[in-house]
Amino acid sequence: MIRSVILGSGSALPKRCVSNAELAEQVDTSDEWIRERTGITQRYIAGEDETTGTLATAAAQAALDDAGVSIGDIDLIVLATATPDRTFPATATQVQAALGGKGFAAFDVAAVCSGFLYAMGTVDSMLRSGMAKCAIVIGSETFSRILDWEDRTTCVLFGDGAGAMVVEAQDVAEDGPGLLATRLHAEGEHCDLLYVDGGPSTTGEVGKLRMKGREVFRHAVTNLSSVLVEVLEDAGHVPGDIDWVVPHQANQRILDATAKKLGLPLEKLVVTVGQHANTSAASVPLAYDVARRDGRIKQGDLVMLEAMGGGFTWGASLLRV
Ligand code: ACO
């Protein structure tokens, strides 16, 4: 059977790391408040020479190197972001050019924090239908550029970064590697709970992130628990079969509550929110890359990727590494 198999992963972070204490010098907050409510201790913030496109290119190149594949072998790039370098062209096309690629399809996907799951679902469909053979899937964000630095309820929660995976269509055995099941959802009626108050077709300005944190928290736990059960059922697995969950890194308390609801031991969660904060579409591939490189995620492991974000949008993918 044809499956989308992950050949390698890579990630990139901005040079500047900002601790909670440093942030508390500019914003009315404290290390203690941020740590207790979110688990975040620091975040990386892009400098003037760093953009969603440059971070995405660095992560994609690292993923190519890790996979032992050159840009000449790639015939698709899909990049998930809510903070593109420009309104258009798609940042994926800039990454294609920066990597020395030409001719093949390259486009962006916008599903905010669930963006990487939406990008992976799209790529998986294209690979299994034969539209492409080998793709780079990227999540890259510079949320620091859309934060209201006067709003302490949101600006302490986010960071910048990028993660990428090289994914190839391969003919594998039933118990072989690859993406086993993916589910994606959206509920646009909740668009006012987490959004950016600008856009090219409305204000003509980029706008700033606005969020009703408590409401988002409640929906996140419910939606993530139910999509994980759906994906496990689709793939014929039970929670106990999972080796690692690589969740969207929004908040330690959302991760804990979701794991508890499913009866998953906390040791099975890959948690990077403390170091990276919430990097939106970049958080899942960034966390995956960290856990694969430090030896936690190994070949043959059953890994669940999951995310929820503005829209609301949410989704999950189960894969055999
Ligand atoms: N520093 C210090 N105090 C703060 C800060 C801050 N940065 N932010 C808010 N406070 C204060 C508030 O003003 C309030 O004070 P008051 O009681 O005097 O009015 C108090 O802390 C409590 O505020 P709440 O908003 O009720 O705090 P809550 O316990 O709900 O925690 C948080 C807020 C962390 C945002 C929480 O609601 C949450 O985690 N929500 C999930 C949102 C999220 O993670 N979104 C990410 C994007 S969506 C996603 O990725 C899934």
Q: How far is ligand 1, taken at its centre, from the CA of residue 21, in Å? A: 17
Give CA–CA dist 191/256, Å, rounded: 25
pLDDT number for residue 316: 97
User: For the residues 186-199, what does the mean pLDDT come to?
Assistant: 97
pLDDT class of 31 with cuts at 50, 70, 90: very high
Q: How many CA atoms lie within 13 A of 309 on its CB side?
A: 32
202-213 pLDDT, tens per residue?
999 999 999 999
Closest protein CA for atom 14 of ligand 1: 153
Cα angle for residues 185, 304, 134 (degrees, 5° grid) = 85
Give CA–CA dist 105/121, Å, rounded: 16
Find out whether the beta carbon of 26 lies less than 6 Å from any atom of ligand 1.
no
2-171 classified as CATH 3.40.47.10: yes
Taking a C-beta distance cutoff of 8 angstroms, is the pair 169, 3 a contact?
yes
Q: How far is ligand 1, taken at its centre, from the CA of residue 153, in Å? A: 5
277-320 pLDDT, tens per residue?
999 999 999 999 999 999 999 999 999 999 999 999 999 999 99
Report the catalytic residues: 113, 248, 278
Cα→Cα distances 291→10, 79, 284, 285, Å: 11, 21, 11, 10
Say which CATH topology domain 178-320 has. Answer: Peroxisomal Thiolase; Chain A, domain 1 (3.40.47)
What is the position in ligand 1's atom list of the atom closest to the CA of 310? 48
Asked if the domains at 2-171 and 178-320 fall in one CATH topology, the answer is yes
pLDDT class of 231 with cuts at 50, 70, 90: very high
pLDDT, averaged across the chain? 97
160-180 pLDDT, tens per residue?
999 999 999 999 999 999 999
Residue 89 CB partners (closer than 8 Å, separation 6+): none
pLDDT number for residue 261: 85
pLDDT class of 138 with cuts at 50, 70, 90: very high
Nearest to 251 by CA among 303, 291, 309: 309
Nearest to 313 by CA among 234, 220, 182, 202: 220
Give CA–CA dist 13/3, Å, rounded: 30
Instruction: Give alpha helix (H) positions in the chain.
Output: 20-23, 31-38, 52-67, 91-99, 115-128, 152-155, 213-235, 252-262, 273-276, 283-293
Q: How many CA atoms lie within 13 A of 254 on its CB side?
A: 27
| In the chain, where the domains are located | 2-171, 178-320
What is the position in ligand 1's atom list of the atom closest to the CA of 156? 7
84-95 pLDDT, tens per residue?
999 999 999 999
**Token match 């969603």: residue?**
52
Give CA–CA dist 314/254, Å, rounded: 14
Q: How many CA atoms lie within 13 A of 28 on its CB side?
A: 3
What is the position in ligand 1's atom list of the atom closest to the CA of 248? 50
b/e sequence 256-274, b meaning 16+ C-beta within 10 Å: ebbbeebebeeebbbbbbe
pLDDT number for residue 258: 86
Q: In this model, does residue 262 exceed pLDDT 90? A: no
Find out whether the beta carbon of 250 lies less than 6 Å from any atom of ligand 1.
yes
**Parallel, antiparallel or unpaired: strands 16-19 and 42-45:** antiparallel
Cα→Cα distances 304→107, 130, 219, 229, Å: 25, 25, 19, 11
Q: How far is ligand 1, taken at its centre, from the CA of residue 305, in Å? A: 25
Q: Calculate helix-pair angle for 52-67, 91-99, nearest 10 degrees.
A: 50
Nearest to 156 by CA among 313, 37, 309, 311: 37
Find out whether the beta carbon of 153 lies less than 6 Å from any atom of ligand 1.
yes
Indicate if the alpha-carbon torsion angle 230, 233, 239, 242 is positive or negative.
Answer: negative
